[in-house]
Structures are given as structure tokens and as C-alpha cells.
Amino acid sequence: MAISPEAHIYEVADLCSKKWTMLRERPFAFLLSAFAGGAFVSFGAMLALSVSAGVPENLAPGLANLLMGMVFAFSLVIIMFSNMTLVTADMAYGLVGVFQSRISWKQFFWGIFVGYVGNCIGSVLFLWIMSQGGGYHAMPWLLRAHEIGVAKTGETAAEIFTMGIICTWTLQSAAILFMKTRDDISKIVITAYGPLAFVAGMNEHCIANIGFLAVPLFQQDIYLAAVANMENVTPVILHWGFGQFGWAHNQLYTVMGNAIGGTLFVAVVFQLVVDPAKLMALYRKQKKQYTYKEKA
Amino acid sequence: MNFDYSPVNPWIWMTSAGAWALVIFVVNRYRRKFHLSDELHQDK
């Protein structure tokens, strides 16, 4: 059963308080939760690569995207049910917390930074381990990983930025609605919708892209050796820096887009839709004591 | 000059800064008007 809008947004702020209390009192635990969250996202990236390799485009151009989205969907579910940290979800939760004066702006930005660092470490480490496994060195997966890498890093800054905004608009709508219901089945369905929408919708997510782009970069030598004797393949060289086909080029504009989608179009909207008089009445009624105290 | 693959694309940086300025303005105005956590403290 769905709860009232004011109770919902109050609980989102409560979650923000818990997360930022953890960051203040147990920063290593917070970093570890972000590490796990990054790895969980990479589980989805690995599965998406696995199921989309070799799918012929002439069968249906969107079929590979649909398959990727369907297997990626449960990444956010396992993050939410295990209380791990995903930086883009924290952007929405944190901003609701700032709205309700649970945390300050300084604490908000610090939490986002630590969450991003933890997510990056978890994602890159998992995918480095994965890229050492022989299964993904076979030709269909080598080609598919490289194809995804070239597509994402070959986009212009504006294309990446706009798809980054759309990504967190869909994903954080699902993440924030996770607390709208009480029963687990509804939570799973609502939460799975977010990653399904952004992956099948070909959007750009900063942590997912670390995974999608790190794999072809880690496997680039193997890929180049494999296609060296193919006359019809002209390999594109991916790199970690800025510029076309660069990891940093994609990451910079994805982060900038993601930072707007989940805040301006989700947190701000959800907070402002709630009647402030009813929310204030709920604050008075609940008399709920939260542990977080802002540092002066 | 073509900024399609430059890290300093001025349109995107300005759009981003404008969006964040809007978010910060709206949030700060809301905080000043409603003081929700102050309400919580008064009730303790």
C-alpha cells in the first residue's frame, strides 16, 4: 500500500539523515557501502554485456538494449535492499535532506564526493577482475564491449550531457519511489524500473559507464590482436583521457548531466509537490528524533 | 571553435551552472520559509 506524499518525502529525508550520520560517524563504512554499490552496478554491466553480444541489429534494432535493460534492472534492487550507496541516488536523497534542513550544503557535497569515489573504486575493481576472466575474451564479447565503448565515447559532449540528465530523471524517480510502498514485491518492481528504463533507453549513467567503458579499455590489447587480421575491421583506439573516444570525456559530461537529472527534475519536484503545511504537521506529530546533528 | 569533444564546452558548463543556481535558490528559499528541522527540534 502506498503511503501519503508527505510521509513519503519525510521518510526520504530520514534515509538521508541515516546515510549522512553514517558518513560522519563511520566514514570507512560509508566508503565501503559505496564500494559495494559500485560493484553492484558493475554486476549489471557484466550481465548486460553478456546477453547483448551477437544480437543481430537487423532482427530488431532495440532488442539488444531491451535485453541489457532487463538484466541490468536488478542492480538497483540489490543496492536498495542491502542499504548500499549509489552516488546518483544519494544526489536525490541528499537534496531532499537539504530541503528539510537535515544536512547542510557542505555535507551534501562531501557525501556526494565520497560516494562517487567509493562507487568508482568498486566498479573499476570488479570490472578489472572480470576482464581477466577468459569468458569475455571470446570474439562476440570482445567485439560487443568495444562497440559499446566506441558508441559511448564517440558521442559529442551535448549528446552525453542530455542523455545523462534523462538517465537520472528516470533512475532517481524509481529510487525515490522505493520508499513509497511498504511491501517488498512493490519495492522490487518499482526499483527495477529505473535501471531498465535508463539502460534500455540508451542513457548515460556515470557509474554504469565506468563499467561499460572500463571493460573494452582493459581488454583493448586482446581486442586489437584479435582483429589484426580482419580486413573489414578498422579498430578505433579507446583511451582514458579527454577528447573523442576518451573515458574522461564521457565521464565528465555524464556526471554533469546526472547531477542535474536526479536533483532538479526529481528531488526538487517531489519536495515541492508535497504540501508544506501537511509536512510541517507531520514533523510536529511524529516527534521523531533523528541522530544527525549538523556540525557548526 | 568546435567544443564537441572538449572538456570546456562553454554551453554545457553554463547550462550546468544555471541549473545548479536554480536548485540552490529554490532549496534555500524553501529552507528559510519552512524551517522543517527546527520544527522537529522544538517538539523534542
CB contact under 8 A, B37 and A287: no
CA distance A34 to A36: 5
Query: Is residue A164 exposed (0-12), middle (13-18) or buried (19+ Cβ within 10 Å)?
Result: buried
Please list the residues that pair with A2 across neighbouring strands: A181
pLDDT band at A287 (very low <50, low <70, confident <90, very high): low
pLDDT exceeds cutoff 60 at A19 = yes
DSSP percent split of chain B into helix, strand, coil, nearest 5: 75, 0, 25
Interface probe for B, chosen from A100, A108, A252, A266 (most Cβ of B below 10 Å), is: A100
Search chain B and give the residue with CA nearest A96. Answer: B27
Q: What span, in angstroms and rounded, lies between the C-alpha atoms of A169 and A164?
A: 9
* Interface contact flag, B12 A101, Cβ < 8 Å: no
* A223-244 mean pLDDT: 91
Give the span between the Cα atoms of A64 and A49, in whole angstroms: 9
Asked if residue A226 lies in contact with residue A142, where contact means CB atoms within 8 angstroms, the answer is: yes
Q: Which stretch of A240-244, B30-34, B37-41 has the lowest confidence by average pLDDT?
A: B37-41
Q: What is the pLDDT of residue B41?
A: 53
**A-B interface: how many C-beta pairs under 8 angstroms?**
87
Where does the pLDDT of residue A2 fall: very low under 50, low under 70, confident under 90, or very high at 90 and above? confident
pLDDT for B43 = 41
Phi and psi (nearest 5°) for A294? Answer: -70, 140
| H helix intervals, A154-218 | 157-177, 184-200, 206-218
Q: Looking at residue B38, what is its pLDDT?
A: 64
Cβ–Cβ gap A272/B20 under 8 Å: no
Looking at residue A231, what is its pLDDT?
81
Please name the residue of chain B whose CA is at the shortest distance from the CA of residue A14: B37
Residue A250: the pLDDT is: 97
Among chain B, residues having any CB pair with chain A shorter than 8 Å are 3-7, 9, 11-13, 15-16, 19-20, 22-24, 26-27, 30-31, 33-40, 43-44
CA distances in angstroms from A3 to A9, A92, A140, A183, listed in the order given: 10, 19, 47, 11
The pLDDT, as a whole number, for residue A294 is: 47
Which stretch of A220-224, A248-252, B12-16, B37-41 has the lowest confidence by average pLDDT?
B37-41
**Among A34-43, A173-182, A206-215, which range has the highest average pLDDT?**
A34-43
Express each pLDDT in A41-59 by its tens digit.
Answer: 999 999 999 999 988 877 8
CB contact under 8 A, A253 and B43: no
CA terminus-to-terminus distance, chain B: 60
Q: Which of A36-50, A172-186, A220-234 has the lowest mean pLDDT?
A: A220-234
Q: What is the pTM of this model?
A: 0.91
Mean pLDDT, all residues of chain B: 86
pLDDT tens digits, one per residue of B8-24: 999 999 999 999 999 99
Mean pLDDT of A150-162: 96
Residue B40 scores a pLDDT above 70:
no
ipTM rounded to 2 decimals: 0.88
- Cα–Cα distance between A214 and A46 in angstroms, integer? 11
Residue A60 makes CB contacts below 8 A (sequence gap 6+) with: none
Q: How does pLDDT run across A65-102, given as a tens digit for each residue?
A: 999 999 999 999 999 999 999 999 999 999 999 999 99
A55 Cβ neighbours under 8 A, 6+ residues apart? A63, A64, A67
Distance CA(A121)–CA(A207), nearest Å, equals 10
For A277, other C-beta atoms within 10 Å of its C-beta total: 10
Asked if A101 lies within 8 A of B44 by C-beta distance, the reply is: no
Question: Is A23 within 8 Å of A102 (Cβ atoms)?
Answer: no
CB contact under 8 A, A268 and B23: yes
